[in-house]
Structure 1
Amino acid sequence: MSISLNVYLVTDGNGREAVDFYQKAFGAEVLALQTFGDGPSDPNHPIPPEAKDRIMHASLQIGSSVLMLSDTFPGMPYTVGNHVTVTVNTDTTDEAKAIFNQLQDGGEVKMPIQETFWSPAYGSVVDKFGVQFQISATPGQA
């Protein structure tokens, strides 16, 4: 069993500026940077022009830790206090589902755990203490 935890920040359209800022402040290495426009297209859910350059996901290596962040999607609420989440990365789908199921007990599921184009098992849940977690199976990367 391999599990890692990371801090995940949500920015309100200024994600690229935040990546540059944290890269400089911490001497970080940008491991990944993907905009909503870079993601796979879906004719049933087209990406609006104002979302194409917003950050869908970025990862920065800071020492032995990884800081992750994304922008809100245009029109989604941005609330200071809810803009920091904890990501839980496991190396198997079964581990991700088991952790998700435990965290949802008494909490609120924001996105059911499911297969996505970036993970065989990803979900988002706010636990009974009000902490938001993003659970993701990333085989070989936890």
Structure 2
Amino acid sequence: MAKINPHLLFKGNTEAAFGFYQSVFGGEFTTLMRMKDLPGDPDNPLPESVANKIVFIALPIGNSDSLIGSDVGEQFMDEELVTGNRYTISITAESREEANKLYNGLSAGGIIEMPMDDSPLGSCFAMFADQFGIQWMLSFDPK
């Protein structure tokens, strides 16, 4: 089965966002590449404000998936980065306890659209944006 690895784009705060995600999910980064790590033009060095920006970072989540991120800005892409073109991530938890842990961690400091609640069928569901504006859907179905 193919793996789904969401790739999130940030306006220069990828490092802070992934530090936050690491505090929620745990684990160690498998990749962390900065602009200064890429081959460059020695006659045209990167400004320090760009050199430490993250080109690619990967945090393993669960047994086979990774959360991936990059800093973007005028120097990387023409499109303006705004909430709405930064993706929504859907997580299906393996237990109610895991769903509660992820909900409490990821929604901290964010905006709750639909709080974690039980459905008549025994499942639970929540929708929210985390403190970095990333949209999340979280569910658990015991069946």
Q: TM-score, normalised by structure 2?
A: 0.51
Q: Which runs of 5+ in 2 are unaligned?
A: 90-143
Structure 1 residue ranges without an equivalent (≥5): 87-142
Instruction: Report the 3-state secondary structure (helix = DSSP H, G, I; strand = E; otherwise coil) of the residue aligned with 1:34.
Output: strand
Q: Which one has the bigger strand percentage?
A: 1
Runs of 4+ in 1 over 2 A off after TM superposition: 2-5, 42-49, 73-77
Pairing 1:10–2:9 present: yes
Shift of 1:12: 0.9
Aligned residue for 1:66, secondary structure, equals: strand
Larger deviation, residues 2-11 vs 23-32: 2-11
The RMSD of aligned alpha carbons is: 2.6
- The whole-number CA distance in structure 1 between the counterparts of 2:55 and 2:88 is 15
The structure having more radius of gyration, on CA atoms, is 2
1:42 aligns with 2:41: yes
Aligned residues: 85
Deviations 1:33-80 (A, max 9, x none): 111111111358753321111111000011121000001135552211
Trace 1:42-121 onto structure 2 (pairs within 5 A): 42-43=41-42, 46-64=45-63, 65-74=65-74, 76=77, 77-84=80-87
Match of 2:28 in 1: 29
SS at match of 2:4: strand
Structure 1 equivalent of residue 120 of structure 2 = none
- Among all aligned residue pairs of Structure 1 and Structure 2, give the percentage whose two residues are the same amino acid: 34
Taking structure 1 as the reference length, what is the TM-score of the superposition? 0.51
Contact 1:8 / 1:85 at 8 angstroms: preserved in 2?
no
With over 3 angstroms needed to count, the CA separation of the structure-2 counterparts of 1:26 and 1:80, relative to structure 1, is same
Q: 1:85 to 1:56 in 2, by over 3 A?
A: farther
